[in-house]
Amino acid sequence: MTESHELRIRVPVLARVEGEGALDVTIRDGRIEALQLRIYEPPRLFEKFLEGRSCHEVPDMVARICGICPVAYQMSAVQALEALYGVDPGAHIRAWRRLFYCGEWLQSHSLHIHLLAAPDFLGFDSVTEMARSYPDEVRRGLRLQALGNDIIALLGGRSVHPVGACIGGFHRLPDNSEIKKIKEKLKSVYDDCVALLKWTAGLPLPDDRQAFCCVALQQADEYPMNAGRIRSNAGLDIAVEAYEQHFGEFQVPHSTAQYASLHGQPYLVGPLARLNLNRDSLPSAVRQALEATGIAFPSDNMFHSIVARAAEILFAVTEAMHILDAAPDKAPARVAVRPRAGTGFGCTEAPRGLLWHRYESDDQGHIRRARIVPPTSQNQARIEQDLAASLTRFGFDHDDDELRLRAETVIRNYDPCISCATHFLSVDVRRDNVGGPAAPGDSEES
């Protein structure tokens, strides 16, 4: 009579993601019995920190939530508070804010593609290894990231945790000499962006097709960044204010991070969801460059996210040049704000997807309650769903290192922003072996 026993393997993985956690997988009888993406960092309690603070402190405080996408937090916050207080800063401020956002998409997507994701698809453990074989591509990524940081600093005063945004506009807008320098840099990298899109489409990406629900902002006549209605490919079409009527957050025992669902089901936010829903809103030159890759969108292959990011880099550079060529007004840099009691909602598209804010204020402008729903929490249930489908299709006859790498690649593909740290994941794989020894390399912990 054979004896069934369970093996437990711990393998440290995934250094190229922000945050700390572990992946537990139990495999029994050739199928996944349990899969948990455990996040165990202490809760950061930013929403509670905001309570009792002046509304004017909020933009700088929420910028501290993320070192990579502070602009997104600031823009969702100021829009929510402007809606609450009945403030309209004007079309010229909206244009400057889109430029601000272009900088963030450019730096974040460039970092992810070149330093975090591409090594997975090219068979390298790190970008330093990849740089030996692909030095020009890595230099390109660093150039594009640096330009994104320059655009953020142009309007934010600095590129990390910028301090230039405020309710009603900006504390200052750039002078003509600063604008001229950025325009020259934008023109110099346009060909880089076209080449990057072609390069990502030529990477050996797994063909892993799945059904999933895409959610993103959608705005008539423009690709969404900082405005629009919330829509899905399943028919959802709601105002930002109606988010809580359709989306729910919940906790699970294995994670300190919140999960989110749409009508009780996982959903995807981020560049692939945006492109799937809004590709027809891209400028014609960007759309043509995307079509030239031969990859059809909407795509049901999650690994096409890297191509979507490259398309959004080309869009960000194109949009930034368009905004600066149109020379939006520089006065007033901000309009007056008179607080009043009430509730305001704001939603923009962070590099990683939908970022939704709600604030309650008293008539003196003090925050009574705040709620912030970041993209990574919205993607967590989808990541677990993707892991189960992708690992099953990949096959459990692979050794643990191969399964680990596949799991790492799936998770990194979402560019999860678990915290501002860059240390993540240990994997706990449990197998039921019947009448056999442990597989080579299996151990309790390594």
Model pLDDT for residues 207-230, shown as the tens digit of each residue: 999 999 999 999 988 999 999 999
Question: What is the share, in percent, of the chain residues with pLDDT greater than 70?
Answer: 88
Residue 434 clears pLDDT 60, i.e. is over it: no
Dihedral over alpha carbons 337, 339, 344, 348 (to 10 degrees): 30
The pLDDT score that the predictor gives to residue 66 is 82
pLDDT tens digits along 236-288: 999 999 999 999 988 888 777 788 999 999 999 999 999 999 999 999 999 99
Query: 282 or 434: which carries more pLDDT confidence?
Result: 282
Question: What is the share, in percent, of the chain residues with pLDDT greater than 90?
Answer: 73
Residue 440 banded pLDDT, cuts 50, 70, 90: very low
The pLDDT score that the predictor gives to residue 257 is 77
Residue 370 clears pLDDT 70, i.e. is over it: yes
Residue 75 clears pLDDT 50, i.e. is over it: yes
The pLDDT score that the predictor gives to residue 431 is 66
Name the burial class of residue 342, with classes exposed (0-12), middle (13-18) and buried (19+) by CB atoms within 10 angstroms of its CB: middle
Give CB contacts under 8 A, 24+ apart, made by 439-442: 439/7, 439/399, 439/400, 440/399, 441/399, 441/400, 441/401, 442/7, 442/9, 442/400
Residue 433 clears pLDDT 90, i.e. is over it: no
What's this model's pTM, rounded to 2 decimal places?
Answer: 0.91
- Min mean pLDDT across 34-38, 89-93, 313-317, 340-344 is at 34-38
CATH 1.10.645.10: does it fit domain 46-376?
A: yes
Mean pLDDT in the chain? 88
Domain edges within the chain: 4-43+381-434, 46-376
Residue 27 clears pLDDT 90, i.e. is over it: no
Residue 437 banded pLDDT, cuts 50, 70, 90: very low
Residue 374 clears pLDDT 70, i.e. is over it: yes
Residue 398 clears pLDDT 70, i.e. is over it: yes
- Give the span between the Cα atoms of 69 and 104, in whole angstroms: 6
Query: 45: phi > 0 → left, psi -120 to 50 → alpha, else beta; which?
Result: left
